[in-house]
Chains A and B, each alone.
Chain A
Amino acid sequence: MALAKVKGLLGDLQKLVGRGNSADLAKAGDLIDDIKVEIISFDSLPPLLYSTPNAAEERALAASALEYGALVAVMIEDMELFERNMNQLLPIYTSCPSIPLSPLKRKVQGLNLMFLLVENRLSDFHCVVEGYTPEDLADSQVDFPVKLERELMVGSYDKFHSANAALPDPLYEFFMKSLLSTVRDNVADAMEVSYTTLKASDAQRMLMFDGADEFKEFIGETREDWLYQGSEICFSAMEVGGKTDIPSMRLIGQTLGYATELERIV
C-alpha cells in the first residue's frame, strides 16, 4: 500500500523537478517530505535492513526519491537540507549495494563531494573517496571534485579557475561559487603577505575576477584596508608578521627545571 503510494508520489516529483521553476521546486520539497514519512516505515531500509518481500523495490524507490531530494536541495541552494538528505541516502548506498544503479547516483555522489569540499570537511571527503569503487571514480561527475580537491591542496588556484569553465553539470555551480570565494580569500591573504604594492589589473587577474566592478565590490566588502594609490593597490598598512620574540628566560628556566627533575628521578 505504502509502496504504491510512494511510487505515485515519486512520479509527481519527477515531473515537478523536470519543470524546474521555483514554485514547482517548493512543491517538490513538500512532496519529498511526504515520501520520507512513508519510507520511514519501510523495514528494508537502514537501520533495520530486513529482507522483506518487496525489499529490492522499496530500496530502489527510496534511493531515487532521496536522490531527487538532494537535487532539489541544491536547486533551492539549501546546504543543510542537502546534508540531511545525504545522511539518509548514504546509508542506503553503503548497506544495500545490490540496488540497481540509478541515473542520478553519480551526480549525487559528485555533489556530495563538492559539498564536503565547501564545508572544508576534508577528512570526511577522503573517507568518502576511499569508499568509492573504481567505477564510481571513473565517472566524470565524481572525478571532477576529486581532481579539484587535489589542485586546491597544492595551491594551483589558476587551474581552479579553468575548471570553473568545465563544469560537468550546471548544478555544480552552486558549490563552485562558494568554493571560489574561499579560494579568493586565500589568494588575497597570500597577496597581503607577499607584496607591499601591486597593480590593480594584476590583482584582479590573480583574484580571478572578470570585470573591474566585481573586483572593486570584493575589495569594498572584504578588504577594506586595501588602499588604492592610482592604479596600484597598497598593502603596506598591514602589519606584516610581528617580530617574533624568543622567550629565552622562560625557556631557560623550564629547561633547568626539567634537568633538576631528571636528576631527582635518576
Chain B
Amino acid sequence: MATTMATNSLPPAPNASAVSLLSLLSPENKPKLIHAALVKLLSVVDSLWFEVSSSLPQLEEIAEDANHDAKTRAVACAYFNVVADKNPYIETLVCKAIEIYTKGKGGDDDDDGLDVDGMDEDEDDGMTEKVVSVVEKMFERCYVDRQWTHALGIALEARNIDKVVEIYTRCDDLDEKLAALKYGLSACTTVVTNKKFRNAALKVIAEQVKGLPPSHMDYASRCMCDHLLGNSEDVWKLIHALLKQGGDSTLMALQLCFDLVDTGDQHFVAAVAKGIEGIAGEMVGDLKDGYDKCMRIMLGGFAGELELAFLYKESDSDPLIIKNLKKSLEEKSSRNSMLHSMSIHTHAFLNAGTTNDTFLRDNLDFLKKASNWAKFSAIAGLGCIHQGHVGEAMELLDPYLPAEGATIAPESGYSEGGALMALGLIHAKPNCPYEKRLSTTGYLRQQLKNYSSNETIAHGAATGIGLAGLGCRDSAIFNELKDVLYTDSAVAGEAAGLAMGMVMLGGAGNGDDSVTEMLAYAKDTTHEKIIRGLSLGIALMHYGLEDGADGIIEQLSRDRDPVLRYGGMYTIALAYVGTGSNKAIKKLLAVAISDVSNEVRMGAIISLAFVLFKDSKRVPELVKLLLVSFNPHVRYASCMAVGIAMAGTADPKVLTMLEGMMEDLTDFVRQGAMLATSMVLMQSSDTKRAKAFRTKITGLVAEKHQSPLTKMGAILSQGIMEAGGRNVTLSMGSRNGFTKPTSVVGIMMFMQHWFWHPCTTFLGLAFQPTLMAGLNKDLNFVKKFTVVCNSKPSVFAYPARLEEKKEEEKKRVTTVTLSTTAKAKAKEEKKKKEEEGEGDTMEVEGEKKEEEGGGEKKEGDEGVEGDKKNEKKGPEPKTFELVNPSRMTKAQPKVCSAKPGQRYSQLLKGEIRGIIMLTDSSPAEEDEEVEVVKAPSVEEDEAPMPEPFIWRPGGAAPAATEEGGEAKEEAEEAEEAEEKMDEAKE
C-alpha cells in the first residue's frame, strides 16, 4: 500500500486506458470492489478524464445510491467537486458545464425570447441543477480569486442579469470594481448582441457607476452608459452638477460635451443641450462662462470648427498628385469624360475638409470640360472640399447657386443642382452649428419648391436637404420630399427617396405608415431609379433599429423585384450596423451565395462590412471564399467589403489578399481591389507596399490599353489614399465605440456610385479627422503640451511628397547605379555597425517587441532603411514628440503618452486621441503660449479673435494677414470662375 500512496501523483502510462477500472463501476460488482476502483480511478482521472467523462452518469448513480456506504459515496462525489482544485479534469468539467449554462441561458440565437428577470423559469433540458451548481461554484471561485471580469464575461454570455448584479455587489475593491464596470461597458457595446439584455445590463452598470464614491467616479463611463440607454436627463443633470462645482469639474463637463458630440448622435446631444438650457438661469457669474462653452460645444459647432481648423492647418495634401493626374489624362488622345469626372472627385477627396480648392481655381479650363452630370459632381465636390466650412458656405457657392428669380432652362441646371448638394454636404455633419443647419435646410427647401420642375436642380436640392437635414426627422420636410417623389420624375424621385431616408434616419420605429407608403409607391412606379431611391430610403429609415427592422427586412428580401431586395440587404446593413449579429450575418451570407441578381449579391456582401465593423477582422475571413467566386460581381463586392472593414489598418494579410485581386480578369474587380487597397492604406506612411501601390495606380492611369473602369479605380484610389490632406480616415465608429451615422450613411451612399456616379462625392461624409487636440479651460490649443510617441518618426510620418516630374526623370536614370551603390553602402554601414557592436540591431528588436502590430512595424522599418540609403542620416531616434494639435492615426495612440512633468496633463487617463481637455497644474499663471481655435474663416460676431482669413473684399477686418491676402486673391479668382462658368454655360 505504501508504494501506492507514493506513486499516486505520477501520471499514468501514455497509452493507458482506464477501461479496466471503469468496468468495475457497474452496479453488478460488489460494493467493496467499486470502492477500490473509485479510489484508484481518482488518482488517474486528471489524465484519463476523457474516458471517465463518459461514465459520469454511473458515478452520479453511485454517489446517490443509498446501498453504498458513506465512504464510497464520498469518493464518487469527489468527481463532481470543483471547489478550488485546478487540474485538467476539473477545468474540462467546468468548461462543459459553463458551455451548457451559457447555451441554456443565452445561446447565440438572437431571436429567442429573452427572460431578463430570472434564471429559474426556462430550465433547459441540458441545464440540470448540477450544471448550475457547478457554475455557481465557479463564480464563487472567481470571486475568491478576484477575477471579476472572468465572472462577468460568463454572466454576460449567459445573459444572466442577476449574476451581473451579484458580481458588482460582491466586488468590494473600488479600483477593481471600476475596472470591472469598464469591462462590462465595453463588452456590452461590442459583444452582447441581444438588444434587450444589453439594455438590462447597461442599466445595472449605470446604477453601479452612479453608486461609486466621488473619489472613484468615472464620469466618462457614466455618461456613456446613460447615452447608450438614451437617458438624456441623467446626462444633463450630471453636466449641470459638474458645471456648478466649477474648477476642474468644469473641464470634465466640457470633456463630456466633446465626447457626446463626437458620437454623432444629434438627437441625444440636442436633448442634453435642451436640458442644460433649461437651467441657464442658475448659471450666473463665474458659472456663466462654463455654461456658454458647453453650449458652444454642443450646439455652436465648436468641434466642427476645431476639426476644420485642424484639417486646414495640418493639411499635407500634395498638389502634385492631382497635377500629375491631370497631365496623364490630357496626354491621352481620346478624352474620356468619365475619367475626367473621376479625377475631379479625386481632387475633392484629396482636399476633403481642408477648404483648399486652389487647383480648381487655377485650372478652370480643366474644370470646364465637365459637362452635364459631371458638372453637377464637380460643383458638389466643392461641398466635400469645404465640408464643415459653414461660415462662408453661401458666399463660396454663390457663383453656382440659382440666382434669385432667375429662370433656368429645364435641360440645364447642373451647376445649380450641384451647388445645392454641396451646400448640403457642407452642413451634413452634426458637429456643425445647429442653427446653421436649420437655416440651410430652410434655404434648400425653398429652392426645392422654386425649381421642382427642373429635375436636375430638384435632384440637387433634395439630396442637399437629405444631407443638411440628416436625421432631423422633421415630418414637414418628409412630406415636401414626398411631393417631389409623386412627380414621378426618375432623377428627382430617386434623390427624393434617398433624402426621405436620410431625413428620417433611424426614424421608422415611430409607428406611422411612411414606410408602407414608400414601399407602395416603389411597387407602383415604373422607374427603376425611383425604386432604388425608395428602397435605400427605407433602409436608411431603419438605421440602428436592429430587430425592429426584421419585418421589413423579411418583406424586402423576399420581393420579386431585385431592386427592392437590394434595398433589403442595405436595410440589414443599417439596422444591424456594428452589432455583429449572427442572425444578420447568416442572412447576408445566404443571399450572397444564392440570389439570382448580381446587384443583390453585391449588396449583401458589402453589408457584411457594416454589420461587422466593430469586429472588422472577421470580414476578410468571411469573404475569403467569396473572393475566388466565379461571379465577378461577388468578387468586386468582397473586395469592397474588405476595404471598408479594414480601412486605415494597413494590415499586410489583407493587402496580400487584395493584391491578387488587382490582376483579376474582370476590369471592375480590379477597380474594386484598388479602391479597397487604397482604403486599407489610408494614412499609412511610406512603406514598401504603399509605395508600390502608389506607383501602380499612377502608372495605370497613363496606360493605353487599360479598361476605363480599372482606370477609374486607379484615379479614385489616389484620392482615397491621401484623402483630406492625409489627415482623415474612413471609419464608422466614434472614439468611444459609438456608431457614427454620418459615416455609415456616407459609405453606404458612396457604394451607390455603382449606379449613379454623382454618389461618389458622398464618401467625403465618411472621412473622419484623426487628430489629437489638447484644450485648456478656455478651449484654446495649449502649445506647451507635448506627447511622446514611442516609435520611430518614420512609422507614423506623412508620406514623402512627390517631386516634380523633371527631377523624377533624372532620378529614374540614375536609380540603376544608385541601387548597387546603395547596396554597397548598406553593406559598409552594416559592417561598421557590426564593428560598433550590436547596439542598433538590439534597438530594432526592442522596437518590435514594443509594438504589437508587428507587420506594420516591420514595413515601417523597411521604409526607414530606404531613407537611410538615400539620405545617409544617422540612426533614427527611437521616440519623437508631437506638438499639440497634430495628427494621430488609428494605430498611433497605443504607443503614445503625454510627456511627464508638463504644466498641463490629461484630465482623463486613457488614449490620447480626439479632443482632450487638459488640466493646468498652475492655473494662477497666465499662459501666453496658447492658440485660439478658429476655422479658416469665421464670421466676425462668432469669434472674438482677429480673423486670419478674410473672405469678403472690403470686409471690416482688423488686420489682413498673409492668408487673408491669399483669400482675397482667391475671392477674385472665384469671381473669375463664375464668369467663366457662365461663359461655359452659354
Q: Which residues of A contact B (CB under 8 A)?
A: 2, 33, 36-37, 40-41, 43, 45-50, 52, 80-81, 83-84, 87-88, 91-92, 95, 261, 263-265
Contact = CB atoms under 8 A, between A and B. Distances in A.
Contacts of A37: 32-33, 36
Contacts of A46: 12-13, 16-17, 20
Given A37-B33, A37-B36, A43-B7, A84 B16 contact: no
A43 B16 CA distance: 12
Interface in B23-37: 23-24, 26, 28-30, 32-33, 36-37
Contacts of B48: 47
B13 A265 contact: no
B10 A50 contact: yes
A80 B26 CA distance: 10
Interface residues of B, number: 32
14 contacts: A36-B24, A40-B21, A41-B36, A46-B17, A47-B13, A47-B21, A47-B48, A48-B44, A49-B12, A84-B28, A87-B22, A88-B24, A263-B596, A265-B594
Given A46-B17, A91-B20, A36 B33 contact: yes
A2 B4 CA distance: 12
Given A41-B1, A47-B16, A84 B37 contact: no
Contacts of A88: 20, 23-24
Nearest to B16: A47
A160 B17 CA distance: 36
B917 to A, nearest CB: 57
A50 B7 contact: yes
Contacts of B12: 46-49
Contact of A87 (B15, B19, B33, B36): B19
A48 B17 CA distance: 9
B593 A265 contact: yes
A264 B13 contact: no
A212 to B, nearest CB: 40
A265 B20 CA distance: 54
B24 A84 contact: yes
Given A43-B7, A265-B594, A49 B33 contact: no
Nearest to A66: B20
B830 interface: no
A265 B40 CA distance: 59
Contacts of B40: 40-41
A43 B17 CA distance: 13
Nearest to A2: B1
Contacts of A49: 12-13, 16
A23 B874 CA distance: 100
Contacts of B18: 47
Contacts of B820: none
Contact of B37 (A40, A52, A265): A40
Contacts of B33: 33, 36-37, 40
A20 B15 CA distance: 38
The 8 nearest A-B residue pairs measured at CB: A47-B16, A87-B23, A49-B13, A88-B20, A47-B12, A40-B36, A84-B23, A48-B12
B3 interface: yes
A33 B40 CA distance: 16
A6 to B, nearest CB: 14
A83 B24 CA distance: 11
Interface string B587-608: 0000001111000000000000
Nearest to A44: B3
A43 B3 contact: yes
A33 B596 CA distance: 72
B16 A95 contact: yes
A36 B31 CA distance: 12
Nearest to A41: B4
Nearest to A52: B3
* B interface secondary structure, majority: helix
B267 to A, nearest CB: 42
Given A33-B33, A41-B1, A41-B4, A95 B13 contact: yes
Given A37-B33, A40-B36, 5 more contacts: A37-B36, A46-B13, A47-B16, A91-B19, A264-B596
Contacts of B26: 80, 84
Contacts of A45: 20
B595 A264 contact: yes
A131 B829 CA distance: 67
Nearest to B631: A266
Contacts of B3: 43, 52
B15 A95 contact: yes
A168 B104 CA distance: 57
Contacts of B16: 46-49, 95
Given A41-B4, A50-B7, A91-B19, A264 B37 contact: no
Contacts of B29: 33, 84
Contacts of A33: 29-30, 32-33
A33 B4 CA distance: 20
A81 B28 CA distance: 8
B17 A47 contact: yes
A261 B37 CA distance: 58
Contact of A91 (B17, B37, B595): B17
B594 to A, nearest CB: 6
Choose among A45, A47, A91 the residue with the greatest number of B CB atoms under 10 Å from its CB.
A47
Interface in B619-653: none
A4 to B, nearest CB: 14
A192 B19 CA distance: 43
Choose among A36, A49, A92, A261 the residue with the greatest number of B CB atoms under 10 Å from its CB.
A36
Nearest to A62: B20
Contacts of A50: 7, 10
A145 B16 CA distance: 28
Contacts of B44: 47-48
Nearest to B2: A1
B86 to A, nearest CB: 22
A91 B24 CA distance: 14
Nearest to B595: A264
Contacts of A81: 28
B36 A48 contact: no
Contacts of A2: 1
Contacts of A92: 20
Contacts of B15: 95
A108 to B, nearest CB: 15
Choose among A43, A83, A261 the residue with the greatest number of B CB atoms under 10 Å from its CB.
A43
A52 to B, nearest CB: 6
Contacts of A36: 24, 33, 36
Contacts of A40: 21, 24, 33, 36-37, 40
Interface in B676-704: none
A158 B251 CA distance: 101
B50 to A, nearest CB: 12
Given A37-B36, A264-B596, A265-B593, A48 B24 contact: no
Nearest to A265: B594
A88 B29 CA distance: 13
B113 to A, nearest CB: 32
B922 to A, nearest CB: 72
Nearest to A38: B36
A254 to B, nearest CB: 18
A240 B36 CA distance: 56
B28 A80 contact: yes
A80 B23 CA distance: 10
Nearest to B19: A87
A38 B636 CA distance: 73
B109 to A, nearest CB: 25
B207 to A, nearest CB: 51
Contacts of A264: 594-596
Contacts of A43: 3-4, 7
A88 B36 CA distance: 14
B20 A47 contact: yes
A81 B27 CA distance: 11
A33 B36 CA distance: 11
Nearest to A45: B20
Interface string B27-68: 011101100110010001000100000000000000000000
